């Protein structure tokens, strides 16, 4: 696997993000992970100045409020089958400044047609979002529970990262301690 990493400082509560790049595009991203696909995150560092610059600039512009979509090439190698179908549906149908519930995404994706047990599609989509190999690029932060934000990763900062991103995109109103870009 020819995966190398670009680290980009962010204003998120989790700190810097790391993006795994290949010859085909960005294949992985993590908010604060130490291991991805059984290998240490960040090793080896990307030495391709063009790829590094593209990722750093696009991500920086997004967090500065200057870009609504990252527009980076995506390498889908870590998502397959129904997971890939749901992630592609999310990417194409839920744009900046919008959100969708887990159940609505399940229905829209078409993956769960014929599922008779209520609640299973929404819970399964929640698990798929938790296993999203491309957070931020494939905006799983835009997928919320029917009765609130829902979860966002297992780390201490997960829901705060989700809240921060939804505030940046205008889905949630800023709080008094908002640290994002000024309008």
What pLDDT, on a 0 to 100 scale, did the predictor assign at position 171? 96
Determine the Cα–Cα distance for residues 64 and 61; give it in Å rounded to an integer: 5
Q: Is residue 76 part of a domain?
A: no
Judge if 55 and 85 occupy the same domain.
Answer: no
Q: Which residues contact 110 (CB under 8 A, 6 or more apart)?
A: 85, 89
**79: how many CB neighbours lie within 10 A of its CB?**
21
What pLDDT, on a 0 to 100 scale, did the predictor assign at position 156? 65
Q: Is residue 182 part of a domain?
A: no
Judge if 87 and 52 occupy the same domain.
Answer: no
What pLDDT, on a 0 to 100 scale, did the predictor assign at position 183? 58
What pLDDT, on a 0 to 100 scale, did the predictor assign at position 19? 97
Judge if 108 and 55 occupy the same domain.
Answer: no
Catalytic residue selected from 17, 89, 129, 140:
140
For 71, half-sphere exposure in the C-beta direction (CA atoms, 13 angstrom radius) is 10
What pLDDT, on a 0 to 100 scale, did the predictor assign at position 155? 64
| Domain termination residue (choose one: 20, 36, 63) | 63
Tell me if residue 140 is catalytic: yes
What pLDDT, on a 0 to 100 scale, did the predictor assign at position 88? 98
Judge if 31 and 100 occupy the same domain.
Answer: no
Judge if 162 and 113 occupy the same domain.
Answer: yes
CATH code of the domain containing 104: 1.10.10.10
Each of the 183 residues of the chain gets a pLDDT tens digit; together they read: 689 999 999 999 989 999 999 999 999 999 877 778 778 888 899 999 999 999 999 999 999 999 999 999 999 999 999 999 999 999 999 999 999 999 999 999 999 998 778 789 999 999 999 999 999 999 999 999 999 888 887 666 788 999 999 999 999 999 888 778 865
The three-class DSSP label of residue 34 is coil
CA 44 vs. chain centroid, Å, equals 22
Determine the Cα–Cα distance for residues 7 and 154; give it in Å rounded to an integer: 21
Domain count, the chain: 2
- Residue 17 lies in domain: 4-63
Judge if 85 and 59 occupy the same domain.
Answer: no
Judge if 115 and 42 occupy the same domain.
Answer: no
């Amino acid at each position: 696997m020819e995966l190398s990493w670009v680290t980009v400082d962010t204003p998120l509560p989790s700190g810097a993000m790391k993006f795994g790049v290949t010859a085909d595009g960005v294949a992985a991203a993590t908010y604060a992970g130490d291991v991805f696909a059984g290998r240490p995150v960040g090793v080896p560092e990307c030495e391709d100045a063009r790829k590094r610059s593209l990722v750093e600039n696009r991500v920086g512009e997004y967090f500065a409020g200057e870009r609504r979509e990252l527009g980076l090439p995506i390498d889908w190698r870590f998502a397959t089958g129904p997971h890939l179908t749901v992630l592609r549906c999310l990417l194409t149908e839920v744009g900046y400044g919008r959100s969708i519930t887990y159940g609505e995404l399940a229905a829209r994706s078409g993956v769960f047609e014929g599922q008779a047990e209520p609640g299973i599609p929404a819970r399964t989509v929640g698990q798929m979002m938790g296993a999203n190999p491309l957070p931020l690029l494939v905006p799983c932060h835009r997928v919320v529970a029917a009765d609130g934000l829902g979860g966002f990763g297992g780390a201490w900062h997960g829901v705060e990262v989700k809240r921060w991103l939804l505030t940046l995109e205008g889905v949630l109103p800023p709080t008094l301690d908002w640290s994002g870009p000024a309008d």
